[in-house]
Structure 1
Amino acid sequence: MSPSAPSTVLETSLYVNDLSAAERFYGDVLGLDILLQTGGNHTTFRCGPGVVHVFDPSSSRDRESLPAHGADEPIHIAFGVPTDQLAAWRRHFNRHDVAVEHTKQWDEGKRSIYVRDPAGNSVELASATLWGTMTRAERLTRVRPVLDLDTTESRPVERFQNETLRPILKLLNPTILRLVAVRLSRYGVGFAAMDRVDQRDRLRNLMKEDGRLKRTLLGMVVGHLTEDELETYLAHKDEVRRRTVPMLLARAQDQIDRIVKQLRGQPGEE
């Protein structure tokens, strides 16, 4: 069985003859934090989930503990930044007397600017989405809680409920409770003073009768669906809605104390 393809770049290496000048450029100008310094050999900077090694090639070519490596000519590295910050980066480089060598307009509004580090390496700052490193579906699913549910024997709608709806509702839990509390406060029914049985009944009636709240909550859930999940939702819309509303109600009824805290102006526990 073949291993999975690599999912991210952990290390990138550059080569310079003046480590001090490189530390000023990558640390002071680009704002990267120094993770490790090995005197006369290399400096490592933290960048997101990975690192950038800056080596003195005369040292990195003469190694025993790890494979030797090095480069004599300028090489290239690109850092991802938000597109709307590229103009600010250009002004920032001007303040540090770093010349912008080139600019590039890519498709879909993505852009790049290019400068040189003190060793002559080409340094690009590009729209973080330039290579489509994460799709909308990946962004949506990555933030969802992972629920350990066996759905192998489930029907399509049941699988959709457990694999998609339940994680989304758990992710949106603080927002759901906040919206329920806001709607309760509009009716001025003294919810916090009710006994638990009456509170559960009041929530049931609210979810049944308040069409605006129901549409808001359902719309919020739909907005967190991927395109494939949306197709499943549209194909089974009525049944999915019939399943979602009781799940929303159960979530509110199970967390009445948090709703009461919000009605009293106290922050709910996360």
Structure 2
Amino acid sequence: MKTKDEAILEIRGTSIGKILDNSTSEEKFQNATLRPILKFQNDLFIEVFKNYATKQKGTFYLLSPEKKLQYIENSIQRDIKFRNSLKGIIIGLFTISEYKEYIQNSSQLNKRMMNLLIERLKNQVQLLESN
């Protein structure tokens, strides 16, 4: 029987992006852990954001395309509860060793994590329209 960590690694897939010998530990973590999780959880992030936007009086849906991009960034950077919820969705798919690595440099990795997620949502803004 597989361990939980083995199962997590299997469903997430392999690293995304190049991991070079001279890559920093943060770059390695980003490409080996964060990117695969963000890709795996993409559909969930879309639905979570749509729910967030709806609960915020739906103003997101009335904005111009440029303002929508700004809204995505501001909501993730400024709404601490929302940001922590998104972080939990990501951290929940860490293996034990990844979590131990994460807590060593959580501040820097949180910035990378949120920046990657912001860019991912901005690149898919058309999927964020209400149904």
TM-score by length of 2: 0.92
Bigger fraction of residues in strand: 1
Which deviations, in whole Å up to 9, do the C-alpha atoms of 1:154-173 show, x marking residues without a partner? 11111001110000010000
C-alpha contact 2:53 2:60 (8 A) present in aligned 1: yes
Aligned to 2:53: 184
Which deviations, in whole Å up to 9, do the C-alpha atoms of 1:179-231 show, x marking residues without a partner? 11111111124322322101101111111221111001101111100011011
Aligned to 1:140: 8
Larger relative contact order, structure 1 or 2 (CA cutoff 8 Å, min sep 6): 2
Aligned to 1:244: 113
Bigger fraction of residues in helix: 2
Q: Distance in 2 between matches of 1:198 and 1:149?
A: 30
Q: Does 1:256 align with 2:129?
A: no
SS in 1 for 2:77: helix
> Larger Cα Rg: Structure 1 or Structure 2?
1
Unmatched runs of 5 consecutive residues or more in structure 1: 1-132, 266-270
Q: Does 1:216 align with 2:85?
A: yes
Which deviations, in whole Å up to 9, do the C-alpha atoms of 1:28-64 show, x marking residues without a partner? xxxxxxxxxxxxxxxxxxxxxxxxxxxxxxxxxxxxx
In angstroms, what is the RMSD of aligned CA positions? Answer: 1.3
Matched residue count: 130
Aligned to 1:48: none
C-alpha contact 1:140 1:224 (8 A) present in aligned 2: yes
SS in 1 for 2:23: coil
Q: Distance in 2 between matches of 1:136 and 1:151?
A: 25
What code does the residue aligned with 2:65 have?
R
Amino-acid identity (%) = 22
Matched ranges for 1:62-211 at <5 A: 133-152=1-20, 153-211=22-80
SS in 1 for 2:12: coil
Q: Distance in 2 between matches of 1:184 and 1:148?
A: 29
Aligned to 1:30: none
What code does the residue aligned with 1:192 have?
Y
What code does the residue aligned with 1:219 have?
G
Q: Distance in 2 between matches of 1:176 and 1:241?
A: 16
Deviation at 1:146, TM superposition (A): 3.1
Q: Distance in 2 between matches of 1:190 and 1:148?
A: 34
TM-score by length of 1: 0.46
Unmatched runs of 5 consecutive residues or more in structure 2: none
